Amino acid sequence: MVPSARFPTFLQTLILVILCVALLSGCASLDYYGQSIRGQASLLLKAQPINELLADPAIDRQIKAKLHRVLKLRRFASEVLALPDNESYTRYVDLHRSYVVWNVFAAPALSVVPREWCFPVVGCVAYRGYFAEADARTFAASLAGQGLDVFVGGVTAYSTLGWFDDPMLNTIINRPEAELAGLIFHELAHQVVYVSGDSAFNESFATSVELEGARRWFERLGLPQQSRDYRYKKAIEQELIDLIMDYRGRLEVAYRGEATDKEKLIEKKKLIAELKTDYKKMRKYKKTQSAYDGWFAQDLNNAHIASIGTYHQFVKGFERLLADNGGELPAFYAAVRKLSKKPAAERHAALTVD
């Protein structure tokens, strides 16, 4: 397989930039950037054009059907949703594992404020990603040794924000059609607008494109109920996020209090147990599955809580902005780009819906 023409030159440039940054940051950073480069390069080099796989008689028919669906969604994304027309999701990689990367989150034992790491391009984020689970676990163990709460979470997909042509992965290709469509639209939206250091803005924008894209996709197929079901599932997940954020606030109050550290740790355990109880009560009346079911099944700590952000808080604001632009996606994207250049407080205020 021959990689895309722009890959070698760009990768060489990226490697030089990252190595320079890493050398200025010390050996630990050099090791981290090294595994990032190797992991990303390996992923891209293994990617095969989907059109070639569809023509290969040795490829399983079920896989071919799924790959054919991916290409249909990809064309729809560019032709109907005006999302970037590039080679993202036109190649396929079977990683022979369930996750593409593992993110490590950390927070103090008596705080839900996450530890942050800062990187070129993407800015500061509340996690470090590893292409090998063993590396993620080793790093998490080193943080735990410092007395921090830690959480290692597997990730099935991520966006390189247009720096590379992101391939379709085996970790996501088996998702139901609505989820697969939503993911493709969501990740391509990150290539349209991305504001360094503003996860709430970025994720809310991408989610609004995801929901609108799914609605238009299923309307074209004459299956509007599937779109409504998908939006309902996303709404349930938002309820669960809201529940977590409510308890995050309660934990913050407890940690700021005047009790002793021992008493705060007891209150921490009590509040996390109550969070799980309230989750079970909520899920009892929500029959659909949720991506957070597995999360709640874990032994939760501050790092778990800190990993959940109010990433969807501006979705309604973006949907209003889309309506203000007559539902025309190119005009909507232009308005979002203009808004993205304003100070954070100003753009957040413009997107806040009472």
- Angstrom distances, CA of residue 271 to CA of 47, 246, 254: 45, 11, 9
Q: What is the pLDDT of residue 49?
A: 97
Please give the Cα distance from 232 to 218 (Å, whole number).
15
- Beta-carbon contacts of residue 232 (< 8 Å; ≥ 6 apart): 288
Under a CB-based contact definition with an 8 Å cutoff, are residues 209 and 191 in contact? no
If we measure between CA atoms, which residue out of 76, 341, 318 comes closest to residue 215?
Answer: 76
Asked whether 37 and 18 are in contact (CB, 8 A), the reply is yes
Angle separating helix axes 199-220 and 329-340, nearest 10 degrees: 180
What pLDDT is stored for residue 41 in this prediction? 87
In this predicted structure, the answer to whether residue 10 has a pLDDT above a threshold of 70 is no
Three-state secondary-structure class, residue 92: strand
Alpha carbon distance 114, 104 (integer Å): 11
Q: Is the pLDDT of residue 23 over 60?
A: no
Given a cut of 60, is residue 103 above it in pLDDT? Answer: yes
- C-alpha 85/C-alpha 96 separation (Å) is 28
Which has the closest alpha carbon to 211: 190, 183, 171, 192?
183
Largest separation between any pair of C-alpha atoms in the chain: 69
Of 71, 313, 82, 86, the C-alpha closest to 209 is 82
CB-CB neighbours of 214 under 10 Å: 25
Element (H, E) at 118: strand 117-119
d(CA 224, CA 219): 5
- Coil vs helix vs strand at 93: strand
The closest alpha carbon to 161, from 215, 115, 98, 119, belongs to 119
- More reliable by pLDDT, 27 or 282: 282
How far is CA 50 from each of CA 68, 69, 87, 246, rounded to the nearest angstrom?
Answer: 8, 11, 10, 44
Indicate if the pLDDT at residue 291 is higher than 90.
Answer: no
Per 3-state DSSP, the chain is made up of helix, strand and coil in percentages (nearest 5) of 60, 10, 30
User: At which residue do the structure tokens 């779109």 appear?
Assistant: 227
32-53 pLDDT, tens digit each: 888 888 898 889 889 999 999 9
pLDDT computed for residue 287 by the predictor: 60
Would you say how long the chain is, in residues?
Answer: 354
Residues 6+ apart with CB under 8 A from 114: 105, 106, 107, 126, 127, 303, 306, 307
Question: Quick check: 286 pLDDT over 70?
Answer: no
Residue 90 and residue 167: Cα distance in Å, rounded?
6
pLDDT given at position 293: 85
Pairing mode of beta strands 101-107, 123-125: unpaired
Residue 170 has what pLDDT? 96
Give the pLDDT mean for 318-339: 98
Q: Which residue has the higher pLDDT, 309 or 242?
A: 242
The pLDDT of residue 16 is 44
Look at residue 24 and tell me whether its pLDDT is greater than 60.
no
Model confidence at 139: pLDDT above 80: yes
Rg, the chain, Cα only: 21
